[in-house]
């Protein structure tokens, strides 16, 4: 991003204080990025435009929830846009009944190895994705960046749905292990 | 990660679930169910934070694409709908180019104060309409009294000094209509200002009177060209 992180964080903070000029400025500086997000995930200009509108309404309404802990301000904005676009996708997808993800989990023990996450470690994902096989890293990226569902990923990689699901879930565990190593 | 036993398996399942949640791979019902669990279970919330932080380094791959024109306008129209009390003056002040002149002059008209009395009111039976004209950052203050019988506005300056080679011009603004000039006024004398027929016809509570600073002899264009130094809405008393 060409913008300085501090500037964007400042604009979000002022937006939380109901500063309309700051909100306008925030829009001018970040709307191209967020439109890039909604357009890539929704793959339809009109839908992406409508989503962008909703996204900035949410940003105005939720600016006070941005806390500078870990998330970079632009990542927070991207997350709002990405999550909204994914909500739109989910709403128009049929429920995938052949995927049994229902699990009953009786209790959860505390996880002592779970350490606080430092923002500086973020770049590690590149290395960790690099450790996955090419196809699998691509699938993770496709899910994150394009909002692909298991169905779409299976079609793109020419594998049965359940195979894709097993693949990706294993890859996610591997990735998780690498990321917290 | 290769923990043996049921507990390890469960943790592993949860981790995968949260990862799938973060990536957006779950269907609507499942997404909602996991979302509720994450909200209730700090451990899962921490797991989600980890995924989101790490995955966010992929954000740079979203290519910037200029947003279509008009989105911001629609967002603002939704977030900041004009209220009944301020709709008219907001439309008016925003629409006129002398607003820019005003801003450039470093003055700020108290639009809200002006707007308070712009709510439509029932027709008045009496002639008692007055207006106090002032603006922040300006020392020009006037009062105006509407004499319905005479069809004039009597004005008196309370403060403010003449400006060399400039004149003060009085304007009447009704609703969203363009300002109508009522001529150049002097600040050092009381004056009876004759009202143009169009102004007289629509004059009532809420009509805004404004004074702008213009070149000698008044605005050359028929619309305000200089900063507003005082403004106020007519109010029934």
CATH for A147: 1.10.10.10
CA distance B105 to B109: 11
Q: What is the pLDDT of residues B165-190, one digit of tens each?
A: 788 889 888 877 788 888 888 877 77
Domain B82-236 CATH assignment equals 3.30.310 = no
CA distance B173 to A13: 38
Measure CB to CB from residue A33 to each of B51, B62, B78 and give the nearest one.
Answer: B62
Same domain, A75 and A128: no
Domain(s) of CATH 2.60.40: residues in chain B: 82-236
Q: What is the pLDDT of residues B78-102, one digit of tens each?
A: 998 876 444 334 434 444 444 444 4
Q: ipTM of this predicted complex?
A: 0.81
Same domain, A125 and A86: no
Same domain, A14 and A70: yes
Determine which of A73-77, B30-34, B39-43, B212-216 has the lowest per-residue pLDDT on average: B212-216
Same domain, A9 and A88: yes
Q: How many domains does chain A have?
A: 2
Residue A81 lies in a domain: yes
Q: A167: which residues sit within 8 A by CB, 6+ positions away?
A: A135, A136, A139, A159
* Binary contact (B43, A180; C-beta < 8 A): no
Within 8 A of A145 by CB-CB distance, chain B residues are 58, 61-62
Predicted pLDDT at B127? 54
Q: What is the pLDDT of residues B7-48, one digit of tens each?
A: 777 888 999 999 999 999 998 889 999 999 999 999 999 999
Same domain, A133 and A168: yes
Angle made by CA atoms A149, B52, B15, in degrees to the nearest 5:
70
**A157 to chain B, closest Cα gap in Å:** 16
pTM value is 0.57
Cα Rg of chain A, angstroms: 19
Supply the range of the domain harboring residue A54.
Answer: 5-92
- For testing the chain A interface, which of B40, B45, B53, B80 should be mutated: the one with the most A CBs within 10 Å? B53
* Binary contact (B24, A90; C-beta < 8 A): yes
Whether the pLDDT of residue A168 is over 50: the answer is yes
Within 8 A of B62 by CB-CB distance, chain A residues are 33, 36-37, 40, 78, 145
**A11 to chain B, closest Cα gap in Å:** 16
Angle made by CA atoms A168, A170, A176, in degrees to the nearest 5:
100
């Amino acid at each position: 991003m060409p913008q300085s992180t501090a500037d964007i964080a400042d604009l979000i903070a002022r937006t939380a204080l109901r500063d309309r000029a700051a909100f306008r400025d925030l829009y001018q500086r970040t709307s191209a990025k967020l439109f890039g997000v909604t357009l890539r995930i929704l793959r339809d200009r009109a839908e992406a435009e409508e989503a962008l509108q909703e996204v900035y309404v949410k940003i105005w309404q939720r600016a006070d929830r941005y806390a500078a802990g870990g998330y970079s301000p632009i990542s927070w904005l991207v997350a709002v846009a990405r999550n909204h676009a994914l909500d739109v996708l989910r709403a128009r997808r049929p429920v995938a009944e052949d995927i049994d993800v229902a699990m009953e989990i009786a209790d959860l023990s505390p996880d002592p190895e779970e350490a606080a996450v430092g923002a500086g470690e973020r770049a590690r994902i590149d290395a960790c994705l690099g450790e996955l096989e090419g196809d699998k890293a691509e699938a993770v990226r496709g899910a994150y960046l394009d909002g692909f569902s298991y169905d779409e990923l299976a079609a793109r990689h020419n594998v049965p749905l359940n195979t894709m699901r097993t693949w990706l879930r294993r890859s996610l565990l591997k990735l998780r292990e690498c990321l917290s190593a | 990660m290769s923990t043996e036993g049921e507990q390890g398996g469960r943790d592993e399942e949860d981790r995968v679930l949260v990862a799938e949640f973060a990536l957006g791979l779950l269907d609507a019902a499942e997404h909602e169910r996991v979302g509720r669990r994450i909200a209730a279970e700090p451990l899962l919330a921490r797991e989600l934070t980890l995924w989101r932080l790490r995955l966010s380094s992929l954000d740079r791959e979203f290519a910037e694409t200029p947003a279509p024109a008009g989105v911001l306008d629609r967002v603002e129209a939704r977030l900041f709908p004009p209220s009944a009390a301020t709709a008219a003056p907001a439309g008016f002040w925003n629409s006129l180019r002398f607003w820019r002149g005003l801003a450039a002059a470093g003055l700020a008209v108290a639009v809200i104060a002006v707007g308070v009395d712009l709510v439509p009111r029932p027709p008045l039976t009496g002639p008692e309409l007055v207006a106090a004209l002032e603006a922040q950052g300006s020392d020009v203050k006037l009062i105006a009294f509407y004499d319905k019988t005479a069809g004039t506005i009597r004005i008196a300056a309370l403060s403010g000094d003449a400006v060399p080679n400039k004149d003060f011009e009085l304007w009447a603004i009704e609703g969203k209509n363009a300002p109508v000039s009522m001529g150049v006024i002097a600040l050092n004398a009381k004056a009876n200002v004759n009202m143009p027929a169009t102004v007289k016809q629509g004059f009532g509570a809420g009509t805004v009177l404004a004074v702008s600073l213009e070149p000698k002899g008044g605005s050359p264009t028929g619309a305000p060209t200089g900063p507003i130094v005082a403004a106020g809405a007519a109010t029934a008393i």
